[in-house]
């Protein structure tokens, strides 16, 4: 049976996702962005590929096996707060000479938009942002029998009145704009991109918004043979808008014997269906003015005589009226997530990342149920070496330690700091090939009789400082924060292995992190 998921359901899902960032106690959800997969070209680490991601970036895979792989190569995380998420819409900067779609309530697969051939309203090009980050909805693009696809917009809208109007008093492009909102400077910096603009986080409609009040009218056929009893041409006002609403009126302009222009003079209220009939027998009692002049003394009405064929369409606004529900107005079913990675003890430098993701509700390393609520996290373990260590470990290469029980602990170097003697590493499943341990990951041990950490090519390997039990060290008068607590020279990850649900994954070409660099992550999730 034919069925669809409506755009309104998509908008609801976006709202639900936004609201899920707010909660207390056991109802709170904690989301984190993460950076991971430091060297996708590394072939000696299970789960990596010999494909150069800088040339061909593979698509992420959605499977339980891959989910575990994403966890294994996760490096560090940044908490997403409610201030780091907002709804966004596609960005169309107003440009002189461009033609825009107009708001219509009937775009569909059989009646697409004129500019983008959009099958729905929200896929059309009907929202624009001006040079001052004011956002407008196009209610009329000058469409008429001679310009079925609309006209070119020539004057930039730049008003903040809630009343629909032309861009200026001198505009001749016949565009009608509805002001929506102005993007704040903070939101511009944080959420605006080349392709998207943010929608306000909260919205309270003005008290003047009227449900079912129509805002625009389109001439489908100008007709012919229309005359006013005071001569050809003129303006006919207070033409009633018929339908299931009340109070709506239109103003029509006759040039020669044809209807040349139409506008809404009173939007009325309560319309879900609206239409206009323009016939001499129906209109004569409603004509009150010609060319702005007062009806001559002794004349009760200005009569319309003759004429046939004029037809019109009146778009119906969304429930509540335009600007009542801004998210319904603009189709806000996309959410942007923002994270900024700069300098933090939890975040390594001197290595690259080639994966960005979002994980929901990870737990602590020592608990399967306790959700983590920290601003930054590391998924890396760490070793602290004695001061005698002066060797250079190479990132993304394996390190090993022979343990007292005969097992071998194996890890991959994520970072090495010669100054502090701290090496951070990760242990993807399958990295150990020893027959006596199989796929079981043996942990590095600062209390083992052998504390030497070997790496191929390192002639003088370092030794774990089993006496170090802290999360910082002062060296040369400078305090170095490690972001992890060491016990016997070993620090465990902060994130429980395979904990939390990975809900978003983005593979990309490798990006090298350095101390002088900051990364801004902007993820757009479309529901």
Ramachandran assignment for 195, one of left (phi > 0), alpha (psi -120 to 50 degrees), beta (any other): alpha
Predicted confidence band of residue 301 (pLDDT cuts 50, 70, 90): low
Residue 50's pLDDT band (boundaries 50, 70, 90)?
Answer: low
Question: Could you tell me what percent of the chain has a pLDDT over 90?
Answer: 65
How many whole angstroms from its chain centre is CA 210? 30
Task: Band the pLDDT of 428: cuts 50, 70, 90.
Answer: confident
7-85+336-375+499-526, what's its fold? Answer: baseplate structural protein gp8, domain 1 (2.60.340)
pLDDT of residue 286: 62
Most confident of the following: 40-54, 323-337, 390-404:
323-337
The two tokens of residue 157 are: 């809208």
Token reading at 114: 């004129």
| Paired tokens of 131 | 């040079």
Average pLDDT in the 370-397 region?
89
Q: Please report the pLDDT score of residue 284 as a whole number.
A: 64
CB atoms near residue 186 (< 10 Å): 10
Task: Using pLDDT thresholds of 50, 70 and 90, give the confidence band for residue 287.
Answer: low
Q: What is the pLDDT at residue 432?
A: 61
Residue bearing the bigger pLDDT, 509 or 304? 509
Q: What is the reported pLDDT for 390?
A: 67
Token couple for 87: 């709804």
pLDDT of res. 477:
92
Is the pLDDT at 49 greater than 70, yes or no?
A: no
Structure tokens at 353: 């990342």
Identify the band that residue 150 occupies on the pLDDT scale cut at 50, 70 and 90.
very high
**Would you state the pLDDT for residue 435?**
47
Are the C-beta atoms of 84 and 338 separated by less than 8 Å? yes
pLDDT over 60 at 46, yes or no: no
pLDDT at 382: 97
Give the Cα separation of 267 and 278 in Å (integer): 18
Closest CA to 450 of 461, 439, 438: 461
pTM (2 d.p.): 0.89
445 confidence band (pLDDT: 50, 70, 90): very high
pLDDT of residue 296 exceeding 70 = no
The least confident of 55-64, 260-269, 322-331 is 55-64
Contact 116, 60 (CB under 8 A): no
Beta-carbon count within 10 A of 419 CB: 10
**CATH 2.60.340.10 placement within the chain:** 7-85+336-375+499-526
Q: Residue 390 CB: number of other CB atoms within 10 A?
A: 10
pLDDT in tens, 107-118: 999 999 999 999
> Contact 507/51 with Cβ under 8 angstroms?
no
Residue 506 CA to residue 522 CA, distance in Å, equals: 11
Q: Is the pLDDT of residue 170 over 70?
A: yes
- Paired residues of 520 in beta bridges: 340
- 319 neighbors 312 (Cβ within 8 angstroms): no
pLDDT (0 to 100) of residue 438: 59
| pLDDT confidence of residue 7 | 94
pLDDT for 436 equals 52
More confident residue, 191 or 239: 191
Q: Range with the lowest mean pLDDT among 175-189, 340-354, 433-447?
A: 433-447
Overall average pLDDT of the 196-215 stretch: 96
Under the banding of pLDDT at 50, 70 and 90, the label for residue 142 is very high
Give the Cα separation of 172 and 168 in Å (integer). 9
Mean pLDDT of the chain: 88
Residue 336 has pLDDT above 50, yes or no: yes
Mean pLDDT of 205-229: 92
pLDDT of 23 over the 50 cut: yes
Burial status of residue 478 (CB atoms within 10 A of its CB: 0-12, 13-18, 19 or more): exposed
What is the reported pLDDT for 238? Answer: 78
Average pLDDT over residues 264-287: 83
Angle at 56 between CA 341 and CA 72, to 5 degrees: 50
CA–CA distance, 401 with 387 (Å, rounded to integer): 19
Distance CA 33, CA 23 (A): 19
For 12-74, the DSSP string reads: HHHHHHHHTT---GGG---EEEEEE-S-TT-SSSTT--SS-TTT-PPPP--SHHHHHHHHHTE
pLDDT at 37: 86
The answer to whether 60 and 110 are in contact (CB under 8 A) is no
Query: Using 50, 70 and 90 to split pLDDT, how confident is the model at 288?
Result: low
pLDDT at 299: 47
């Amino acid at each position: 049976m034919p069925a669809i998921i409506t755009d309104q359901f998509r908008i609801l899902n976006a709202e639900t996702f936004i609201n899920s960032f707010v909660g207390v106690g056991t109802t709170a959800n904690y989301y984190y962005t993460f950076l991971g997969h430091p060297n996708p070209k590394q072939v000696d680490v299970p789960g990596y590929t010999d494909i150069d991601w800088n040339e061909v970036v593979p698509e992420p895979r959605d499977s339980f096996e891959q989910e575990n792989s994403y966890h294994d190569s996760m490096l560090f995380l940044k908490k997403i707060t409610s201030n780091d998420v907002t709804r966004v819409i596609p960005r169309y900067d107003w440009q002189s000479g461009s033609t825009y779609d107009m708001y219509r309530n009937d775009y569909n697969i059989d009646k697409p938009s004129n500019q983008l051939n959009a099958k729905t309203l929200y896929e059309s090009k009907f929202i624009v942002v001006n040079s001052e980050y004011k956002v407008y909805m196009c209610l009329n693009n000058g469409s008429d029998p001679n310009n079925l696809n609309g006209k070119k917009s020539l004057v930039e809208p730049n008003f903040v009145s809630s009343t629909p109007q032309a861009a200026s008093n001198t505009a001749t492009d016949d565009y009608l704009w509805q002001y929506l909102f102005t993007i704040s400077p903070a939101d511009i910096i944080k959420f605006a991109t080349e392709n998207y603009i943010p929608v306000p986080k909260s919205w309270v409609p003005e008290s003047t918004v009227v449900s079912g009040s129509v805002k625009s009218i389109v001439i489908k056929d100008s007709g012919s043979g229309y005359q006013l009893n005071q001569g050809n041409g003129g303006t006919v006002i207070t033409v009633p808008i018929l339908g299931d609403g009340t109070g709506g009126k239109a103003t029509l302009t006759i040039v020669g014997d044809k209807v040349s222009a139409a506008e809404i003079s009173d939007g009325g209220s309560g319309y879900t269906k609206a239409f206009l009939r323009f016939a001499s027998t129906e209109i004569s009692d409603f004509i009150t003015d010609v060319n702005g002049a007062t009806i001559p003394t002794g004349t009760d009405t200005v009569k319309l005589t003759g004429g046939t064929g004029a037809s019109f369409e009146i778009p119906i606004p969304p429930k509540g009226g335009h600007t009542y529900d801004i998210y319904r107005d603009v189709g806000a079913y996309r959410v942007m997530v923002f994270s900024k990675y700069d300098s933090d003890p939890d975040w390594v430098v001197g290595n690259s990342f080639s994966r960005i993701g979002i994980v929901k509700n990870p737990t602590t390393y020592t608990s399967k149920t306790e959700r983590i609520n920290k601003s930054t996290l590391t998924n890396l373990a760490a070793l602290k070496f004695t001061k005698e260590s002066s060797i250079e470990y190479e990132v993304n290469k394996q390190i090993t330690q022979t343990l007292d029980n005969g097992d071998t602990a194996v890890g991959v170097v994520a970072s090495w700091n010669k100054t502090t003697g701290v090496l951070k590493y990760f242990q993807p499943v399958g990295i150990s090939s020893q027959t006596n341990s199989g796929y079981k990951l043996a942990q590095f041990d600062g209390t083992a009789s052998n504390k030497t950490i070997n790496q191929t090519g390192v002639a003088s390997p370092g030794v774990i400082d089993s006496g170090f039990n802290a999360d910082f060290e002062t060296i040369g008068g400078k305090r170095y924060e490690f972001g992890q607590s060491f016990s016997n020279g070993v620090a465990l990850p902060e994130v429980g292995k395979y904990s939390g649900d990975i809900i978003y994954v983005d593979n990309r070409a490798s990006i090298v992190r350095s101390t002088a660099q900051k990364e801004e992550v902007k993820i757009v999730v479309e529901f």
